[in-house]
Amino acid sequence: MHLYKDQFSDSHDFPRQEGPDKMLVIASTPRCGSHMLGHTLHQTGAFGFPLEYANPANLREWKRRIATESTEGVIRELTKRRTSPNGVFGIKLHYTHIRVLGGFDRVQALFPEAYYVLLSRKGILKQAVSLAIARQTGVWIAGQQPKNNNPPQYRFEQIERCLREVILDNSSWRYTLAANGCNYIEMDFDSVRKNLGASVQTIADFMGVQIDDNQVQEEHATSRQGSSLNDQWVAQFVRDFEHSSSELVSSEPGLKRRVLRKFRKMLSAG
């Protein structure tokens, strides 16, 4: 995977601070729209710059640039560079990043009393297809260079694995946040995308952060990556799933049939 080099640009640093007063964690899964939300929040100048700092490839590069082998040292330095003037630091974490940081107890120690925004998508099959395509191409963000010139190939088994992974990670986030008594809210990607200003205000109200109306932009800060290929793969997966031997981990009769009905309803809704 080619690095998203813009993450490391000094141009995104705020005036240096000793540390944040409030911390925001966007609790996410791959391809759920968290990149768009993070950039939108950054545009306000009031939420730091919530990026995927704990992604293993990004973390290695930060360690190289800061000249440290310590993950804690990287986070500490980032909170000094990327805390916005109002004292807010933001980070985006996928559920797999919890292990990278040393477990959820360690996450809580690194980001004490954090405000968590759990971002998910109702169109979870579309998310799984997007994840499968990104893993093949290496392009996770618009403008990122592909890892090869081979066009992505439809693979039923890969999409099914991605679908199960996303569902499990969403459930794991909900369990972890609830079980640890974390302060969190849930937001849906489609609602956020359609109502950016209101969504940012919701997060601001949740955190007790003051923002001006002119700080919130309704235009998307990032480019949409989905294409007709995504829709074709979604439709193909539904057809293949109907005739596959894949079963859910449940003995409930008729469950697969009801899942197919939901898939088709999602397709007809566009």
From the list 142, 162, 149, the residue with the least C-alpha distance to 234 is: 162
Alpha-carbon distance values, 139 to 1, 54, 147, 225, 249 (Å): 8, 18, 8, 9, 32
The overall average pLDDT reported for the chain is 88
Indicate the residue type of 45: G
The pTM of this model reads 0.85
Task: Find where tokens 């990287």 sit.
Answer: 74
What's residue 243's pLDDT? 80
Token pair in block for residue 34: 């968290």
What's residue 112's pLDDT? 97
Spatial contact of 109 and 23, defined as CB atoms under 8 Å apart? no
In sequence order, what DSSP letters do the residues of 30-50 get, joined into one string?
Answer: TTSSHHHHHHHHHHHTSS---
Alpha helices in the chain (DSSP H): 34-44, 56-66, 71-81, 97-100, 104-110, 124-137, 156-179, 189-194, 196-207, 228-242, 255-268
Instruction: Give the integer Cα–Cα distance in Å for 157 and 224.
Output: 25
Please compute the mean of the pLDDT values over residues 171-177 and round it to a whole number.
97
What's residue 223's pLDDT? 46
Mutual angle of helices 255-268 and 124-137, in 10-degree steps: 80
In sequence order, what DSSP letters do the residues of 101-151 get, joined into one string?
Answer: TTSHHHHHHHSTT-EEEEEE-S-HHHHHHHHHHHHHH---STTPPPSSSPP
Q: In this predicted model, which residue has the larger pLDDT, 173 or 143?
A: 173
What's residue 213's pLDDT? 72
Please compute the mean of the pLDDT values over residues 225-253 and round it to a whole number.
76
What's residue 216's pLDDT? 64
Task: Find where tokens 């998310």 sit.
Answer: 127
Spatial contact of 7 and 58, defined as CB atoms under 8 Å apart? yes
Sort 265 into a burial class: Cβ within 10 Å, 0-12 / 13-18 / 19+: exposed
Tens digits of residue pLDDT in 15-72? 999 989 999 999 999 999 999 999 999 999 999 999 999 999 999 999 999 999 999 9
Q: What confidence tier does 266 reach under pLDDT thresholds 50, 70, 90?
A: low
Gap between the terminal Cα atoms of the chain? 31
* Structural domains present in the chain: 5-268 (3.40.50.300)
Please compute the mean of the pLDDT values over residues 172-184 and round it to a whole number.
97
Please compute the mean of the pLDDT values over residues 86-109 and round it to a whole number.
97
Token pair in block for residue 163: 């679908």
